[in-house]
């Protein structure tokens, strides 16, 4: 029969398609375009205003990634934002506030799906981070192979969950530790640090900082370097390096969902999320 992971993907892909039909949206929240480089797609996140992860947006994102993964013409994806205000504001707080446990369960499962789809992708993934990138929004860069950030003081990046009174899940923490090391992660995660570009580069959460109007062209030239390596060798190596981290989530998905649902359902947590959302609305420019 199919190996576990493949079986699981087939089942989850079907779930996504069923959910997409339920939304039946007319809006296109994810736009995929071919780039000027053969074999490279540009995937633009377009859930206005700030690419927060609504269930509908996550579903559309997974479906588009799945299509690219299965399309033999593509070897790499540049992921960027088509929202002027942000690369991504992370989890849509309206999905984890004031809903019921069944909703939280479905939401968390889909967020895990996105992580696994990206982290174990056979394609080269480059994040072209052209706006602020907070908390869950970092899921995309942290699971990419390379990260380029726009040099603009507004372009803060980091896992600021603790500032909302919540904790990032272990599958956000692990890639961060793999990327920036244990001590820097301990510091960044506990304080919920959002790094401006120069600091982001120094700590290593991004690989390159360039002027905003060069983010896209830099992503393409970096992609060319990565595509110079034969796919099979690069894919085997990527898998070898990432498998131990990915297996932790694959093996502990259900417990992780249970933990999340019971945590997020607490009155005290709901209160602090509502306060954060109210503060966001007050602080508008």
- Residue ranges in contact with ligand TC6 by CB under 6 A: 49-50, 52, 85-86, 89-94, 96, 132, 134-136, 160-161, 164, 166, 168, 280-281, 284-285
Q: How far is the CB of 124 from ligand TC6 (least distance, A)?
A: 25
Backbone angles phi, psi at 76, to 5 degrees: -155, 155
CA 201 from centre of chain: 19
Closest separation between CB of residue 75 and ligand TC6, Å? 30
Distance CA 282, CA 118 (A): 34
For the bound state, the minimum distance from the C-beta of residue 37 to ligand TC6, rounded and expressed in Å, comes to 30
Residue (124 or 156) nearer to ligand TC6, CB? 156
Nearest residue to ligand TC6 on Cβ basis? 90
65 or 114, CB closer to ligand TC6? 114
CA distance 238 to 161: 28
Residue for token pair 């570009």: 197
What string of H, E and C letters represents the secondary structure of the chain? CCCHHHHHHHHHHHHHHHHHHHHCCCCCCEEEEECCCCCEEEEEECCCCCCCECHHHHHHHHHHHHHHHHCCCCCEEEEEECCCCCCECCECHHHCCCCCHHHHHHHHHHHHHHHHHHHCCCCEEEEEECCCEEHHHHHHHHHCCEEEEECCCCCCEECCHHHHCCCCCHHHHHHHHHHHCHHHHHHHHHHCCCECHHHHHHHCCCCEEECHHHHHHHHHHHHHHHHCCCHHHHHHHHHHHHHHHHHHHHHHHHHHHHHHHHHHCCHHHHHHHHHHHHHHHHCCC
Task: Work out how close the CB of 105 gets to ligand TC6 at its nearest, in angstroms, rounded to a whole number.
Answer: 13
Which C-beta is closer to ligand TC6: that of 112 or that of 223? 112
Whichever of 76 and 175 has its CB closer to ligand TC6, that residue is 175
Least Å distance, CB 32 to ligand TC6, is 23
Least distance to ligand TC6 from the beta carbon of 62, Å? 17
Indicate the residue among 168 and 180 with the shorter CB distance to ligand TC6: 168
Q: How far is the CB of 72 from ligand TC6 (least distance, A)?
A: 34
Nearer to ligand TC6, 114 or 135 (CB): 135
- Is the Cβ of residue 85 or residue 99 nearer to ligand TC6 in the bound state? 85
Q: At closest approach, how far in Å is the CB of 160 from ligand TC6?
A: 5
Closer to ligand TC6 by CB, 33 or 285: give it: 285
Q: Is 14 exposed, middle or buried (0-12, 13-18, 19+ CB in 10 A)?
A: exposed
């Amino acid at each position: 029969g199919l190996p576990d992971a493949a079986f699981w993907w087939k089942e989850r892909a079907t779930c996504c398609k069923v959910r997409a039909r339920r939304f039946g949206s007319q809006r296109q929240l994810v736009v995929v375009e071919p780039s000027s480089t053969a074999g490279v797609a540009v995937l633009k996140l377009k859930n206005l205003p700030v690419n927060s992860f609504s269930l509908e947006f996550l579903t559309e994102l997974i479906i588009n990634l799945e299509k690219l993964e299965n399309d033999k013409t593509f070897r790499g994806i540049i992921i960027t934002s088509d929202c002027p205000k942000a690369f991504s504001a992370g989890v849509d707080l309206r999905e984890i506030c004031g809903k019921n446990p069944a909703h939280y369960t479905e939401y968390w499962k889909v967020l895990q799906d996105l992580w696994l789809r990206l982290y174990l992708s056979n394609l080269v993934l480059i994040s072209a981070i052209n706006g602020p990138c907070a908390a869950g929004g970092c899921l995309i860069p942290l699971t990419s192979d390379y990260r380029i950030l726009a040099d603009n003081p507004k372009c803060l990046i980091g896992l600021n969950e603790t500032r909302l009174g919540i904790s990032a899940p272990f599958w956000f923490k692990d890639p961060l530790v793999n990327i920036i090391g244990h001590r820097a992660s301990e510091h960044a995660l506990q304080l919920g640090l959002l790094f401006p570009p120069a600091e982001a580069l120094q700590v290593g959460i991004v690989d390159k900082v360039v002027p905003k109007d060069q983010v896209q062209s830099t992503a393409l030239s970096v992609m060319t370097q990565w595509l110079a390596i034969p796919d099979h060798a690069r894919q085997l190596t990527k898998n070898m390096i990432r498998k131990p981290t990915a297996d932790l989530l694959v093996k502990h998905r259900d417990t992780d969902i249970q933990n999340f649902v019971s945590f997020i359902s607490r009155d005290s947590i709901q209160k602090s999320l509502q306060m954060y959302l109210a503060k966001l609305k007050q602080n508008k420019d």
